[in-house]
Chains A and B, each alone.
Chain A
Amino acid sequence: MHEHDKQIPIWFFIGALLLVYGVLIAGAGIYGAYNPPPETQRVALWHLHADIWWGALLAVFGLIYVIRFWPSKEETLTGLAEHGQEK
């Protein structure tokens, strides 16, 4: 393995995926809140709008990971390098 290659840590992949998912889910929730489905087709506890706040939570979590583990030369596949060692 080439330790000094520019490498993308797994945490970045996870963050990016959660960010995309969070945005999609929250977006679907906001759309659903403004265009409510018929009552017979609503999920239980629909009025809590879990999709909006859960999607937002995933997006924030993903964004933190994306920023924290943005690919750079000092990184390895498994995390940030620290004094020549993987953390």
Chain B
Amino acid sequence: MTHMFATAAGGATSLLRLTFIDLVIIVIYFGAVLAIGFYLKKYARTGEDFFLAGRKMTAWIAGLSFISANLSSLETMGWSAMAYQYGMLGAHAYFIGAIPAILFLAIVMMPFYYICRTHSVPGYLKLRYGEGPRAIAGVTFSFMTVMVSGASMFAMAKILNLLLGWNMNVSIWVSSLTVAIYVALGGLRSAVFNEVLQYFLIWGGSLLIPILGLIEAGGWTGMIEKIQRHAPVIHPTVSSADFTSLWRNLGSFDTNPMGIDWFGMVFGLGLAVSFGYWCTDFLQVQRVLVAKDLRSAQNGTIIGAFLKMMVPIIVTIPGLLGLAILLNPDGSPMVLVPESDPRAGITHHTYNEVLPLLMGKYLGPGLLGLGVTAMIAGFMSGMAGNVSAFATVWTYDVYRALLVRNASDRHYLLMGRWSSIAGVLLSIATAYALFLFSNILEYLQVLVFFFIVPLFGAILLGMLWKRATPAGGFWGFLTAILVSISMWIYVHTFPDGWRPQPKVTLSRGAVVSLERGADGKYNTIVVESGEVELVNVPGVSGGEIVTPVTIPPTVAGKGTDVAVQILAPEVVLSDKQEKTGFGVEAVPVVLKPGIKLTAVQITKKFAPAAFNPKHTKLIARSEKAKPMAVNMYSAWWSFVVCVCVTFLVSLFTKPKPESELKDLVMGLTKLPDEGPCPWYKKPILWATVCAIVLVAINIIFW
């Protein structure tokens, strides 16, 4: 069977074109954040000011910052892409994948974090278990923040280059120096204020897209009807899957596009990933630790939960709209592909471009500037959040804990400022490293799972079970990290060898003639001149061709025929002498004499880009599990291992005396009396309302 791929993405022109007014809006944003940074410098005079914003934040600012730190552009573009790929299941990240964990943090965990007056989550580990777990958490967290910050820079530079044609070096240096200036000057307060600002910009710049999209799609029912019509064309490998339900399609692995069942969703995403991320990722927790009192910290967290439930309006709905209303000029659905797809950026747009494509479709001069500003603000705020968290953890949990123990507050404040700048420089170095090893970007999200989920297991037991011992916490944490990494290696290991799909790549400038059938599809591609690279095409050797060679449309694989992909990023049509680009598969290719041919056979025992179905089945209970499903199940097993090992080791080792666990463990922590509180400010009330709203949303979109 011949598959035609859309050629909409061909060509080197930018996806979006900015006008003067758009540039003015962007420049004003940079001016504003720098002005705020300089203004806030005078309020960062002590370590507590710099690292914890003086613990003066109101519930609203803490809540907005808490959610905004998580609403970076990688997040908004990434989860729009998820909605395009997995349909409405993508919204679970904002419902069961966040809300129960955020409410748990607010009601159960926040009192411990707040009352023990820790500067950081690793700091809590030190108080509860000792230096060992703190050192692991401090070092891994510092590493992660720099990696994620660098990835954010790299992604921003790449996206701005793709969308607007901006020079990548300029994007990286301008944005990172701006972040370095305002974080080094104002510390966490500066980061928090810019996050609050960014939250308003993101809504102001993004909310129009779902409004206009739904108008064009004919309302909600019109969008759902179009998705059901287009999804089998866009995602043929899961053509029978239901893209428009939250739970109805989770009865088995086959009925949803993620290849997951309800157990994986509830326990993998809803428990392990979600609780790990929201309850123990210091980047998040730091945002509410800075509240002026415990009640504000709790209410701020709950405000964050309400705000989080609203985010699918600007993230999930655009992804769904991508399935419904993004069309090719001939009216057929536009097919987007994953970043790892060889056609990405040549003949096809990628999943990650679904939001920018909609921006280009609906936003005119001025609005587009605001949309791009929101995107830049999202990236920069993501960097600032990571850099400020890095500065805190580095200064308190690595530098002060391991290197210089008893210096003055002024010394640590200075270290905080310099480590903010160092964090930005390390992030820049990471961003440039990603230029060389861009595929690392795909694995960064997995990196978070490696450390965050085990951390949650250790902290949860530490808070709720006074018998958990320092040895139990250390070994549970470490073992779960190792198991997590082992599972990742296991699902990407191929004892019998993995062979990438056979591929024919035509060099830039190669001359071709295309023979089409009556239906307009290609019957044969004839390559007249140029260079051709073959990957995993058997029976053809390299060198200059003497007699015509025909590459068959399919080659024999293990038990089934595999289609040969043909990629032509930029070739010349022999009859019209016009440049074109295309990507097709399962079309015979004829190579004329004189063509220089390179032929390679690739077989790998370990391939991070591919999943071994047999191994996947053992981890995620289905051979059809998609990467996200594998991540969720891996997180679940890692959490189980952490809890079991901590429990077992604790049974055989000596616990800390109760006097040392005061204010750290349930049953040994007395909540402070914060005075009378009107009923409408009680955290438990709003947590209950939030939980009811969550249940209602899940029933409505069941």
A: residues with CB less than 8 A from B are: 1, 8, 10, 13-14, 17-18, 20-21, 24-29, 32, 42-46, 48, 50-51, 54-55, 58, 76-79, 86-87
Contact = CB atoms under 8 A, between A and B. Distances in A.
B362 A50 contact: yes
Nearest to B365: A28
B58 A24 contact: no
Given A25-B370, A29-B366, A78-B61, A10 B193 contact: yes
A42 B40 CA distance: 42
B695 interface: no
B197 A86 contact: no
Given A1-B43, A21-B204, A24-B366, A14 B212 contact: no
B367 interface: yes
B343 interface: no
Closest 3 CB pairs of A and B: A28-B366, A25-B366, A28-B21
Nearest to A65: B200
Contacts, number: 101
Given A17-B201, A45-B212, A86-B292, 15 more contacts: A1-B49, A13-B36, A13-B193, A14-B197, A17-B197, A17-B200, A32-B364, A43-B360, A44-B216, A51-B366, A55-B366, A58-B204, A79-B58, A86-B56, A86-B58
Given A44-B362, A51-B367, A54-B367, A18 B200 contact: yes
Query: Which of A10, A46, A79 is packed against the most chain B CB atoms within 10 Å?
Result: A10
B28 interface: yes
A52 B674 CA distance: 48
B292 A43 contact: no
Nearest to B293: A85
Interface of A is mostly: helix
Contact of A45 (B60, B362, B365): B362
A24 B24 contact: yes
Contacts of B25: 21, 24-25
A66 to B, nearest CB: 13
Contact of B32 (A1, A17, A76): A17
B318 to A, nearest CB: 14
Interface of B: 19, 21, 24-25, 28-29, 32, 36, 39-40, 43, 45, 49, 54, 56-58, 60-61, 189, 193, 196-197, 200-201, 204, 208, 211-212, 215-216, 292, 360-367, 369-370
A17 B313 CA distance: 23
Nearest to B36: A13
Nearest to A58: B204
B364 A14 contact: no
Contacts of B56: 1, 76-78, 86
Contacts of B211: 50
Contacts of A77: 40, 43, 56, 189
B61 A10 contact: yes
A78 B57 contact: yes
Contacts of A45: 212, 215-216, 362
Contact of B364 (A10, A13, A21, A29): A29
Nearest to A57: B204
Contacts of B366: 24-29, 51, 55
Contacts of B365: 28, 32, 51
B393 to A, nearest CB: 24
A53 to B, nearest CB: 10
Contacts of B292: 86
Given A8-B39, A45-B362, A78-B61, A25 B196 contact: no
A76 B369 CA distance: 32
Contacts of B28: 17, 20-21
Contacts of B43: 1, 77
A45 to B, nearest CB: 5
A78 B291 CA distance: 11
22 contacts: A1-B43, A1-B49, A1-B56, A10-B193, A13-B36, A14-B196, A18-B204, A20-B28, A24-B24, A24-B369, A25-B25, A25-B370, A28-B366, A42-B364, A43-B361, A43-B362, A44-B212, A44-B361, A45-B362, A50-B362, A54-B367, A78-B57
Contacts of A54: 208, 367
A47 B581 CA distance: 34
A27 B189 CA distance: 34
B367 A25 contact: yes
A70 B596 CA distance: 71
B204 to A, nearest CB: 6
A25 to B, nearest CB: 4
A44 B24 CA distance: 23
Nearest to A53: B208
A42 B370 CA distance: 18
A77 B58 CA distance: 10
A78 to B, nearest CB: 5
Contacts of B201: 17
Contacts of B196: 10, 14
Given A24-B21, A50-B208, A77-B56, A13 B32 contact: yes
Nearest to B49: A1
A21 B366 CA distance: 8
A77 B196 CA distance: 13
A14 B32 CA distance: 10
Contacts of A32: 364-365
A73 to B, nearest CB: 16
A86 B57 CA distance: 9
A50 B197 contact: no
A87 B45 CA distance: 23
A85 B497 CA distance: 66
Contacts of A26: 366
A50 B212 contact: yes
Of B21, B25, B49, B200, most A-chain CB atoms within 10 Å? B200
Contacts of A24: 21, 24-25, 366, 369
Contacts of B197: 10, 13-14, 17
A51 B364 contact: yes
